[in-house]
Structure 1
Amino acid sequence: HKSDPYWVAPGGGVESHDKTLHDALARELAEELGADYEILFDAFTLKHHKGGKDLVEHFFVCRLHDYDISLRYGPEFDDPARGEFLPDAVDLTEDAIESINIKTEELRDWLIANLHMLRMLQELR
């Protein structure tokens, strides 16, 4: 059974060898995108309870310079039953963001609330 497509930000857990959140971010962006990027700033933190655990998710705004999906690695890419993980550029408009199923709602809401600033950052390339 194929589920409807949805969009997520790259991410995952902090591993024991990650000394900082930025180390974890670097590893996740390498694993999921083979990315060349720069961190612009910490965007927001989301705290929730899932599966009997208290979770904290940290979201960052980064400038993606380049990526190479042939360099990505991890269990999600080895098992076709887990679906496809395809990078997709989304226009920085409210209509574009609202037209796709972004996980989580908090990320979608943050993007919409900060569109003006994100567009300004995009123009500064």
Structure 2
Amino acid sequence: MTESGAKITVVRHYFRADVLTMNPNRRNGPELDDPDVGDFSPIRIPLTVSALAALDLQPPELAEYLRAHVTSWGA
């Protein structure tokens, strides 16, 4: 619970994965049926410094970490 007037912290989770196959038709859950809670579509981007730089990743520490390590992931 949040106290009245208290600061709210929004948490976003990012995952880096080597996806070998994916069938979007097999995804399920109530959040996928409710457009008011957002879009849960996977976003695919190339693992390059320039592709990461084009994204507005937050917090800035995450963006810095990804740009610093992307070349070591064998993309």
What TM-score results when the alignment is normalised by the length of structure 2? 0.62
C-alpha RMSD over aligned residues: 2.7
Q: Does 1:86 align with 2:55?
A: no
Match runs of 1:32-111 below 5 Å: 50=9, 61-111=16-66
Could you tell me which amino acid in structure 2 is paired with residue 112 of structure 1?
Answer: R
Moved over 6 A (4+): none
CA deviations over 1:88-107 (Å, ceiling 9, x no partner): 22112222112122344333
CA deviations over 1:50-95 (Å, ceiling 9, x no partner): 48xxx8x7x7643211111111122321211123222222112222
Aligned position for 2:4 = none
Could you tell me which amino acid in structure 2 is paired with residue 96 of structure 1?
Answer: A
Secondary structure (helix, strand or coil) at the match of 1:64 reads coil
- The structure richer in strand per residue is 1
CA distance in 2, matches of 1:116, 1:67: 24
Mark the runs of 5 or more structure 2 residues left unpaired by the alignment.
1-8
CA distance in 1, matches of 2:20, 2:39: 23
What TM-score results when the alignment is normalised by the length of structure 1? 0.42
Q: Does 1:113 align with 2:64?
A: no
Mark the runs of 5 or more structure 1 residues left unpaired by the alignment.
1-49
Larger Rg: 2
Could you tell me which amino acid in structure 2 is paired with residue 65 of structure 1?
Answer: L
CA contact (8 A) 2:48 2:71 kept: no
